[in-house]
Chain A
Amino acid sequence: MSLSRREFLQVLATASAAGFTLTGCDNSQPSSTAAGVKPKKTPNNPYELPPFGNVSLLHYTDCHAQLMPIYFREPQVNLGIGQMKGRPPHLVGHHFLKYYGIEPGTREAHAFTYLDFPELARKYGKVGGFAHLATLVKHIRAQRPGALLLDGGDTWQGSGTSLWTNAQDMVDAQIQLGIDVMTPHWEMTFGADRVQEIVNKDFAKAGIDFVAQNIVWNDENFDLEGERVFKPYTIREINGIPVAIVGQAFPYTPIANPRHLISAWSFGINDEAMQEVVDEARAKGAQVVVVLSHNGMDVDLKMASRVTGIDAIMGGHTHDAVPKPVLVDNAGGKTLVTNAGSNGKFLGVLDLDVKNGKVAGFKYSLLPVFSNLIEPDPAMQKLVEKIRAPYADKLGEELAVTDDTLYRRGNFNGTFDQVIVDALLEVMGAEIAFSPGFRWGVSVLPGEAITVDHVMTQTAITYPNVTLNAMTGENIKNILEDVADNLFNKDPYYQQGGDMVRVGGLKYAIDPNKDFGNRISDMTLNGKPIEAGKKYAVAGWASVQETPMGDSGKPIWDVVMEYLRNKKTIKVNDLNIPKLKGVEGNPGIEL
């Protein structure tokens, strides 16, 4: 091989297409037909991935407890600010298709973009579902002996059943699926004791490693202060090659979620500790070092430029479905960064060719899980049915019918969030409503019934109570500025992921490029300017405080369900999106 490692990696990166292309007219028969994957549906089976190399890692992330196949609309607004402008993952719609060379209207275009969402969703059907994911994992693993399955976290939270079973449903599903390694974020919202119970009992018994280099005891535990709570990494042998998987939990869990649930644990990005851990793993003989990350993609990209010795960062948190890895230069060489979408919609497959103790080449595919192309795995289907059976009647209750597509994902608002803020205004009698900019929650197609199941995918958290407070105009502005900076700070290390807080009643303008304190302007309520000193009745939910001010005692799902039952039919006439400034020509937005 005359190419240097660097050149060779570049060649392969260019040569390896997204992997999932149905637009070709290749008539060749699939090399093998594993049970369950239906090759007849398409002339070129998208799930036939010829094996490559000798080390394979399968990765899914941010499934948010979606055991069943669902619809999920990708964002129409995902702005990159500063250096992130126009770079993956901050491309939407047509910009995305053009960048990755994907034909509009295809299955692939539907998987990765919001374009023609309801029409293509009807055409191509639902995505994800653990029974379908299980079949795909088995199929891909059968061709790749020894492959590891990595779970990037945000698995235990996001559905009625995960909340009501205290995450046991997802733990059982993970074990059934055969995951090998996991790192957390929302898992923490079940509380430190429950996390440790699962890690020390269920996971220990199943041989699953729960890894996080960036969770340490804080000074609430003097004797252990500064020491890690979990294993920072695990070294597993794949085809005789020692492979280190380092965990990077969501660095801002105690800030974005209630700190009191994990009060003795401290998080953070901790680049220096990451470097030490990577060096230690190398010193112990790891020939491949992969970081299983819940940083969010912008943070992953920055970390890849600063820490050396990592072959790949396989990331999640920001729910970005990125078809090709980004190659990042650093002082030690290059690091691949992948991000694998959300809601069980995708399975990432990274094949590495390890020669003479080094990665000599790679192939990566991000496979959309189209439920109607894959037979459900019988054992997993049985488990999912068993999990849901006790709650089937409750989950299936039809609350209203929607005339519009309901979705959440997007920087500023989603139609389902509009329903939530409308419900808060009406049911709580508020003038202004706030709903957090979460990125999870499934989509509902026009004409479908909105069920309790749907509402729970948008609201199922362990701190669901609705609050009602009198807030000054100044307070409201400060909140908007604070959240905007968490989303649009030019330095990714100061971002928290998530989207802008959704607002009902209040109108405002935002310039994401401005600095802290200067992004928000033109705040009005019913056409009148918001006054800094005047108090307004503001409803919200998901307070991270241990004893929230103005706690109504009502969980958000009750408020939304009450509203839906009253309305019977939902039409989102006025999607409240702020007036945007300074984003002309940004390929992260199509409005």
Chain B
Amino acid sequence: MNTKRRLFLKGSMAAGAAGVAMSAGLLTPGMVLAAWNEGAFKAKSVDEALSALMGSSSTEAGKIKIKAPDIAENGAVVPVTVSTDMGGVDTIAILASNNPTPLTSSYELGEGALPYVSTRIKMGKTGKVIAVVKSGGKLYSASKEVKVTIGGCGG
């Protein structure tokens, strides 16, 4: 079982999770650092963050799959997976619309990496998880509502 899981992990990593893309030599730490954009990560709104990060906040609806819970089990670590069938993807950004600083993370994909990112984000309160994908110089986005609740009182 463990072997199987490890093989699976290897497979999915090779398929493009950013962390592994790095260890596979597709990205170097220097490149990741180069991508750090203080203005974008400190921006107080989705539009502001996108403008700072991607140079524009205008996006088209894209065939992007977001896997995230309907209601978060723990707002401090909400699992989010973003993937797309689009080709030529060089950036995937994940934003939480109602966070004080909405941009949670941005991934620069090297050539040949499949557009698949799996991560954990922190959400202060209920809002949209927005995935923005840059493909062929254009921006595409999709979103999913994730509820953050104080819990209790069920059943």
Contact = CB atoms under 8 A, between A and B. Distances in A.
Interface of A: 154, 185-186, 218-219, 223-225, 227, 250, 252-257, 259, 266-269, 317, 436-440, 478-479, 482-483, 485-486, 489, 493-494, 496-498, 501, 516, 542-544
Contacts of A224: 1, 5
Given A254-B73, A267-B73, A494-B147, A227 B5 contact: yes
22 contacts: A186-B155, A219-B79, A224-B5, A250-B155, A255-B72, A255-B73, A256-B152, A259-B73, A259-B151, A266-B73, A436-B152, A436-B153, A438-B155, A439-B155, A440-B155, A482-B150, A485-B147, A493-B70, A494-B71, A496-B153, A497-B154, A498-B153
A543 to B, nearest CB: 7
Contacts of B2: 223
B71 A252 contact: yes
Contacts of A185: 155
Contacts of B23: none
Interface in B106-131: 120, 126
A269 B154 contact: no
Binding site of A, secondary structure by majority: helix, strand, loop or mixed? loop
A479 B5 contact: no
B37 interface: no
Binding site of B, secondary structure by majority: helix, strand, loop or mixed? loop
Contacts of B151: 255-256, 259, 544
A486 B73 contact: no
Given A255-B71, A485-B149, 11 more contacts: A154-B155, A223-B2, A224-B1, A250-B154, A254-B74, A256-B151, A257-B152, A257-B155, A496-B71, A496-B149, A498-B155
Contacts, number: 85
B5 A494 contact: no
Contacts of A544: 151-152
Contact of A268 (B70, B149, B150, B153): B70
Contacts of B152: 256-257, 436, 542-544
Q: Interface range on chain B: under 10, 10 to 19, 20 to 34, or 35 or more?
A: 20 to 34
A527 to B, nearest CB: 27
A581 B77 CA distance: 37
Nearest to A266: B73
Contact of B155 (A254, A256, A494): A256
Contacts of A483: 153
Given A252-B71, A479-B150, A516 B155 contact: no
Interface in B57-104: 69-74, 77, 79
Contacts of B77: 219
Contacts of B5: 223-225, 227
Contacts of B73: 218, 254-255, 259, 266-268
A458 B126 CA distance: 32
Nearest to A496: B154
Contacts of A486: 149, 153-154
Nearest to B2: A223
Contacts of B74: 254, 259
Contacts of A438: 153, 155
Nearest to A436: B153
Contact of A269 (B70, B120, B149): B70
Contacts of A268: 69-70, 73
A482 B155 contact: no
B123 to A, nearest CB: 13
Nearest to A64: B155
A112 B149 CA distance: 33
B69 A257 contact: no
Nearest to A225: B5
A255 B155 contact: no
Nearest to A224: B5
B124 to A, nearest CB: 13
A153 to B, nearest CB: 10
